Structure 1
Amino acid sequence: MFINEKIKNLPITPYLEQICQTLKNSPSRFLVLTAQTAAGKSTAVPLALLENFNGKILMLEPRRLATVALAERISSLIGEKTGETVGYTLSLESKISQKTRFEVITEAILTRRLQNDPLLEDTNVVVIDEFHERSVHADLALAFLKEAMSLRDDLFVIIMSATINSKRIAEFLSQPAAPIMEIPGRQFPVEIIYKDKISVKNAILEEFSQSINDRSLVQNQNRTDSILVFLPGIAEINNLRSELENSLSSTEAEILTLHSSIPLSEQKKILSEVPISSPRRIILSSSIAETSLTVPGVTTVIDSGLSRINKMNISLGMERLVTEKVSQFSADQRAGRAGRLMSGRCVRLWSKFDILNNEIQPEILRCNLASLVLECAKWGSTKIDSFFWLDSPSKSAWNAATTLLTEFGFLENEKITQNGKFALELGIEPRLACAILYGKKTNHLEEALNFALKFSQYGTANEEQKKKFLSILKKRIEKCNFSSSTSGYEEFSQTELLLSGFPDRLGKKQPLEEQSFFKNAAQTLYQFPSAHKAVLSKTYQESPEWLIAPEVNAGSSTGKIYSFEKIDSIQLENWLKNHSEITEELEFDKKNFSAKKTQKTSYGAILLKEKKLPVSPQDFGKALCAEIQKNGLSVLPFDKKTFDFLLRTQFYANHIEPELFTQIESLQKNAEIWLLPFITSSKIDENIVFDALFYFLNGTKIDSSVPSSIILENGKKAKIKYESRLISSGILNIGDYLTNVRLLNVIPILEIIIQQIFGCFSTPKISGIPVLLKLLSPARRPLQITDNLENFWSGAWIEICKEMKGRYPKHNWDYRLTTDS
């Protein structure tokens, strides 16, 4: 019997039989199981499954430490050594045997097993624990499992966590929704205490120091009770450790740290029992201790409320470390660490009125998807819609990953290549797999292996872990039986090895004038092919002209280089010959109204060299047209004749042919069509602009219908002006006019001394539109403005005439006569 006295007091124990029966009777063979932290899910449910299911059971855990700890805990509950009935498998370590029926594994291990055995023929139940963390591997495993379950009727899956959106997940898993079991109760209560005034990140150290030394947190507590402190990352952990070691003696407190960079053997020491006589433990931890772990002696949790996650910047091809508020689910998980062995308390360093997001953003929505897309390609498709996603990845991130894998030669025509399969078998990042492939092709595998080790997750591990990583990697290479496609080996280049997987991480030191922009003498600025820039701390002994930065983040504006490799300039020059691009650029100089032509050799946004080229009339024209397309027609020289023509064109479009608006509005966009054919030198004047516009807009037709002068009824010739109130008042310039043509009202105007219109009895019209008459005195002073001459003669003119006769008695004032007496 696997269920025994050791778990009888766990809140979940009375429900174990019901859990197993619900899973067996589930039509979809899915079960969503939730219970509070410390209810016993991760230890008691495995025992119940062993008792109720005959086949093999796999349990996924998101972290290595939890994987090992759970396997050891479950084994101890049934009185066995780890590796007998219950075992575990990590990427570099495993404790299993022929007897093993329950295996705790990290998430990436399940992905590999599904790829090798898509139906998981030897497995009866899969438990995905701590699903609230929403790692990319958990989401991928779920997508693959849904397909496998459609082909098997004896494979069961439990989704398990203390904090998940059960309803949403159940509805995603199947229709009708998969069954949900929510187990009430926790073993020990946890008191929640809020202490705010910690809104600024750089106040974290001070707040923690005050909190840890605040005796109100530990009064009435046994001095050996441990404090577990959650911090966002390694930097904060190390800084706070230094602060505490300066203020607390070793007899007062033992300061320990817990994060993923610490070797697993060191992590496991923190899970050992604390002697009563030992100093009080203060454990400074990242989110690694958030789930599935019972840290002995912990009765107090201090939660910063912050976590640090990677977010992918797709356009730069780089990830950015972001410090964010934790989700409510994560905060509850952290608090739960204090109530696993006895009642506890959790001090939250934020206000109880602060609102947290319920869930963390799934990793699949914010990470580099290259490994995911490659896994999907091996599964059978590179189409994002071919899989069942709880949260579908963004198409832009998916496409960026597909492009990168194609450049690496891992995909071709959207299908996985042999090199792509090789990269997956290695079980490392695709970029590092590129280096291994290059090392194989050039017979320099050791150099490639050491490079892959340096920039893998084991680069900072102890020597034993490093040797284990290299040994396993070599075995995988041998198993793949990879052979180069060429006969013999290619010539080796250290630079090409570095660039094989990181061609977009080539950085060039920026000139001094660029460096001074940052006003930080302690940093050197580098530019990358994506145009992104990042700084290298001058704590490094050198800042080479060129470098490869495998570990660089995007930052909010300027990134930071965390590690780099120096590049041999001669080898790089040879490599760039085949990878750089030569382009010609035309630039228009508005100040001198001239063009510049430059030949540029570039690798992405990195300028390698440039030289000036002679500018032909055609070049000048193209540069000018590009400037027009960018900034509008106001760059051109317009004289009065041209402007008047445009206003007449506007009038024509308003009243005769509205279709002409489309042509007017296209002037900026189509500058090369109408202007370029008229440019015959590297200069342009008003006449060229007029001729080009006149031809493009069919000026002959406009002259005919909208003339610049007319013959009046009395036989006299009069010049017509066309005006828009907005333009004449200075509200709009020529550039604005051309983008607002449909909004402008252009009117014909005749400004004339009144005697010149004597003998005219009806208002002159242009295409049926009355001309606005501005009538002037003999001294050219305004008398009247009218667009109805008939009414004027019979109305206002009578009084005006009397006044004018007195002022100018020698002039003719009989409007019926056409000449002066």
Structure 2
Amino acid sequence: MPAPLVRDLGSLPDLPVRRALPEITATLVAHGAAVLVAPPGTGKTTLVPLALAGAVDGKVVVAEPRRVAARAAAARMAALLGEPVGRSVGYAVRGDAKPGSRVEVVTSGLLLRRLTADPELPGVGAVVLDECHERHLDADLLLTLLLDAREGLRPDLPVLAASATVAGPRLAALLGGPVVEIDARTFPVDVRHRPPLRGERIEACVARGIREVLGSGSVLAFLPGVAEIRRTEAALAGLGVPVLPLHGRLKPAEQDAALRDTGRRVVLATAIAESSLTVPGVRAVVDAGLARVPRVDHRRGLAGLVTTTVSAAVADQRAGRAGREAPGVAVRCWPEGQLLTPYPEPEIKVADLARLALDLACWGTPDGAGLRWWDAPPEGPFAVAREVLRVLGAVDGSGTATPRGMRMNGLGLHPRLARALLDGAAAVGARTAAEIVAVLDDDTLTQGPDLDGELRRLRDGSAPARGRWAAEVSRLARQVARDRGEGRRPAHATALVTALAHPERLARRRADGSGVFLLAGGTGVEVRDPGLGAHEWLAVAIADRTPGAVHGTVRLAAAADRGLAERAGEALLTETDEITWAPAGSGPADVRARRIRRLGAITLEEKPLRDPDPERVREALRDGLRAEGTGLLRWSKADRALRERLGFLHRTLGDPWPAVDEESLLAHADAWLGGARRRADLAAVDAGNALRAIVGWPLAGRIDELAPERLAVPSGSNLAVDYSGERPVLPVRVQEAFGWQRTPQVAGVPVLLHLLSPAGRPAAVTDDLESFWSTGYPQVRAELRGRYPKHSWPEDPRTAEPTRRVRRS
């Protein structure tokens, strides 16, 4: 049994978790896995690891979702022991480490790197996964892989999942261990709703809320990002108390200043202060109700952070900060009654999964099958991520990690940035590539959209984040020092390295004068910086799109040229022969046959095809006919009438008479297109021949028999039958129909007679001539005989002589 790190647990701060420390350690040792559910401020982050260090052989590693929380937790535990950080208790975050001998607090991502590099985790006696409820991507994957390691190489490794609001039983079932719950000692919190006034920005609303509750004591305000913190800070000018920011971009000393209880103050924080950090002295909370979370638009190829409304669980956690030490007040900057989702959406459902996919490939389970997931990666985005890895050379065709992929994974970067660092170092030198990748990995280092300009500011020391950037550059450069590359920084080095990371974001300005650029991925983006917008080519590092907007917006980019684009985007280059029905300049659409060279969606050049494939030409003509109709053929009046007659026969008799609508004509296009190759050739195709080709022989010989073009009437005239409607119609003057006893028929269907006056105007309509002579004709005769006295109007039309002429005087 190892020596206890804390000899007397009663000497620890009197926080709710202290009295349960024996139960927690005993449960974990007995079961090998457990879930600790305890609200923020109960001591689970700092007291539990100290107690566990005396109950397990090896170092207790605590995984925190954020670097700020990791450093703060290590500092607090070291202070409880009366030691400096780095002796018994230490921390390790990317670019900064003071390892402790008994307890080490690390970020979830860093522990994930260690685990994939060596699944046995030598020297580790227990792992504590803190703040599991936040559902960060790295933390979820870390939990899954730790469970897999426990089933194989490390069955002796205890895993404690600690959380504030998670559904304990579900997580316990996943872990295969019991739940230990700790009740918090809390004070009442007066919750008030103060939504923004009409036209008021959220920063102004938060500032108004802070002024309202400042008399209660120190105030902790939650805002979605650094920009909002800066604007709120400006809105609080002259407040009379210190206003301190708290976010991940700050230097460690600045973060520590916000966490010290130095009297009444206002702390403006991002989501890092929700649960894993304790901000002492707080009596009031003002909550903007917003959070910035990663989202990927897979259809447009854009990824980044978006601002969303917080969940009910997060809102409750934030408000609870005001009641940890005494009764408090919480101001919520949204209307009372507004519905919130119960819990935060897991990142695995909405984030870019390329890094997760590479971790799984390096773990030996490229498809993630057989692993125990809290939420498995969504099938579509996961498939996209695996294809990205294949293109980057990180995995082979079977999904297995390549040696290059293993090296990329060890860099602690997104696979795209790892590719940019490795290949960029070989092209422009390790130092230059590291300088650029450090900015691509942390866009908070920049303030403007011109990446080259921002790098100049970082290099000459005029940028405020110069120190943080330089430290990361040194770390990255050391990892690729063997890839020396060129001795000097080549032109467009920034664009080249950026494009190596995101070749699908190479962009070319459209030729229409709109100022819009087209990304190789197919999305249109606007460039609001005049300097960048003047270039023809850009390598875009960051672009996003506001929902409902036509185009995306470029947030960070570097000037490029075509040669660089073809070099960095080689995998996107294609050369295809396209034979389509498309607009030809300002004229009508026609067959267009071209050989096109493209970079993704960007057309580089196109040349006419002199001898295109005839079958593809026919398909293009069919597309044209589908789009514009068979009116493109040569139609005479007789051809249109023939189509109507054939349509009547198909409706009336059915098979074997074929349909002759647009779809049917196109289905038989091969029978009548002949050698047509362009629009003008279609105008030479005889539509009547096309119709007869569809009908075929011997049916074509019976068309006049069954659907005659004309019918003979008693006067001796041969009159045209109209087949354009549902039924055949024969217009005939009343005098020419005298003596007709019965209605004529075509294909067994009575013809609808339109009986006309001598002037050709409708007088009656009938398909029952026998009945009409008896009942309808007398009325017609009475109405028309006075108007047309020179025409014959016999009393008995059945026996009267038909005539086309007027009656002689």
Q: Does 1:264 align with 2:247?
A: no
Q: Measure the CA separation in 1 of the matches of 2:698 and 2:226.
A: 77
1:773 corresponds to? 753
1:654 corresponds to? 651
- What is the CA distance between 1:85 and its match in structure 2? 4.1
Deviations 1:1-34 (A, max 9, x none): 54622446322334444444554565xx553332
Matched-pair contact (CA < 8 Å) for 2:93–2:106: yes
Deviations 1:172-228 (A, max 9, x none): 556xxx64444333344433222123576x5223323333333xx133x4xxx4322
Matched-pair contact (CA < 8 Å) for 1:713–1:759: no
Deviations 1:695-731 (A, max 9, x none): 245597367355243666979855332234xxxxxxx
Deviations 1:633-669 (A, max 9, x none): 5666755444444444443443333798888463587
After the TM superposition, which of the residue ranges 759-768 and 129-138 deviates more from structure 2?
A: 759-768
Q: Structure 2 vs 1, CA of residues 69 and 614 (structure 1 numbering), >3 Å: closer, same or farther?
A: same
Q: Does 1:691 align with 2:689?
A: yes
In the alignment, residue 686 of structure 2 is paired with which amino acid? I
- What is the CA distance between 1:777 and its match in structure 2? 4.1
After the TM superposition, which of the residue ranges 671-680 and 442-451 deviates more from structure 2?
A: 671-680
Q: Does 1:300 align with 2:287?
A: no
After the TM superposition, which of the residue ranges 612-621 and 63-72 deviates more from structure 2?
A: 612-621
Q: Measure the CA separation in 2 of the matches of 1:35 and 1:668.
A: 73
Matched-pair contact (CA < 8 Å) for 1:37–1:186: no
Matched-pair contact (CA < 8 Å) for 1:458–1:466: no
Q: Measure the CA separation in 1 of the matches of 2:43 and 2:404.
A: 45
Matched-pair contact (CA < 8 Å) for 2:742–2:770: yes
Q: Secondary structure in 1 aligned to 2:383? A: helix
1:36 corresponds to? 39
In the alignment, residue 300 of structure 1 is paired with which amino acid? A
Deviations 1:602-625 (A, max 9, x none): 323334445678899979976654
Q: Measure the CA separation in 1 of the matches of 2:623 and 2:105.
A: 63
Matched-pair contact (CA < 8 Å) for 2:108–2:139: yes
Deviations 1:721-767 (A, max 9, x none): 2234xxxxxxxxxxxxxxxxxxxxx2222223345555554444444
Matched-pair contact (CA < 8 Å) for 2:12–2:18: yes
Q: Measure the CA separation in 2 of the matches of 1:492 and 1:672.
A: 56
2:409 corresponds to? 424
Q: Measure the CA separation in 2 of the matches of 1:592 and 1:463.
A: 57
In the alignment, residue 524 of structure 2 is paired with which amino acid? K
Q: Secondary structure in 2 aligned to 1:270? A: helix
2:90 corresponds to? 87
- What is the CA distance between 1:579 and its match in structure 2? 6.0
After the TM superposition, which of the residue ranges 115-124 and 696-705 deviates more from structure 2?
A: 696-705
1:150 corresponds to? 151
2:393 corresponds to? 409
Q: Structure 2 vs 1, CA of residues 143 and 754 (structure 1 numbering), >3 Å: closer, same or farther?
A: farther
Matched-pair contact (CA < 8 Å) for 1:39–1:187: no
Q: Secondary structure in 2 aligned to 1:411? A: coil
Matched-pair contact (CA < 8 Å) for 2:635–2:686: no
2:505 corresponds to? 505
Q: Structure 2 vs 1, CA of residues 604 and 265 (structure 1 numbering), >3 Å: closer, same or farther?
A: same
Q: Measure the CA separation in 2 of the matches of 1:295 and 1:307.
A: 19
Equivalent residue runs for 1:94-133 within 5 Å: 94-97=97-100, 99-100=101-102, 102-120=103-121, 123-133=124-134
Q: Secondary structure in 2 aligned to 1:423? A: helix
- What is the CA distance between 1:62 and its match in structure 2? 0.5
Equivalent residue runs for 1:202-601 within 5 Å: 203-214=201-212, 217-219=213-215, 221=216, 225-245=217-237, 247-248=238-239, 252-274=240-262, 276=263, 280-383=264-367, 387-413=371-397, 414-439=399-424, 441-442=426-427, 444-457=429-442, 460=445, 465-466=468-469, 468-474=471-477, 476-477=479-480, 494=493, 496-510=496-510, 513-515=513-515, 525-538=516-529, 543-556=534-547, 557=549, 558-567=551-560, 580-582=573-575, 584=578, 587-588=582-583, 592-593=587-588, 595=590, 597=592, 600-601=596-597
Equivalent residue runs for 1:763-802 within 5 Å: 763-793=743-773, 795-797=775-777
Q: Measure the CA separation in 2 of the matches of 1:560 and 1:318.
A: 10
Q: Secondary structure in 1 aligned to 2:344? A: coil
Q: Measure the CA separation in 1 of the matches of 2:65 and 2:569.
A: 41
Which stretches in structure 1 are left out of the alignment for 5+ residues? 485-490, 516-524, 725-745
1:13 corresponds to? 18
- What is the CA distance between 1:161 and its match in structure 2? 1.9
In the alignment, residue 435 of structure 1 is paired with which amino acid? A
- What is the CA distance between 1:107 and its match in structure 2? 0.8
Matched-pair contact (CA < 8 Å) for 2:430–2:477: no
Q: Measure the CA separation in 2 of the matches of 1:282 and 1:630.
A: 65
* TM value normalised by structure 2: 0.82
Q: Secondary structure in 2 aligned to 1:310? A: strand
Q: Measure the CA separation in 2 of the matches of 1:674 and 1:184.
A: 83
How many pairs are equivalent? 761
Q: Measure the CA separation in 1 of the matches of 2:11 and 2:688.
A: 96
* TM value normalised by structure 1: 0.81
Deviations 1:220-263 (A, max 9, x none): x4xxx432221111111112223323x34xxx222221222223
Deviations 1:126-181 (A, max 9, x none): 3322122211111212222332333354344333222223455455556xxx6444
1:519 corresponds to? none
Q: Structure 2 vs 1, CA of residues 229 and 635 (structure 1 numbering), >3 Å: closer, same or farther?
A: farther
Q: Measure the CA separation in 1 of the matches of 2:506 and 2:586.
A: 36
Q: Secondary structure in 1 aligned to 2:686? A: helix
2:60 corresponds to? 57
Root-mean-square deviation (Å)? 4.1
In the alignment, residue 655 of structure 1 is paired with which amino acid? T
Q: Secondary structure in 1 aligned to 2:268? A: strand
Q: Structure 2 vs 1, CA of residues 592 and 454 (structure 1 numbering), >3 Å: closer, same or farther?
A: closer
Q: Secondary structure in 2 aligned to 1:253? A: coil
Q: Structure 2 vs 1, CA of residues 259 and 321 (structure 1 numbering), >3 Å: closer, same or farther?
A: same
Q: Secondary structure in 2 aligned to 1:747? A: coil
Matched-pair contact (CA < 8 Å) for 1:426–1:476: yes
Q: Measure the CA separation in 2 of the matches of 1:21 and 1:659.
A: 86
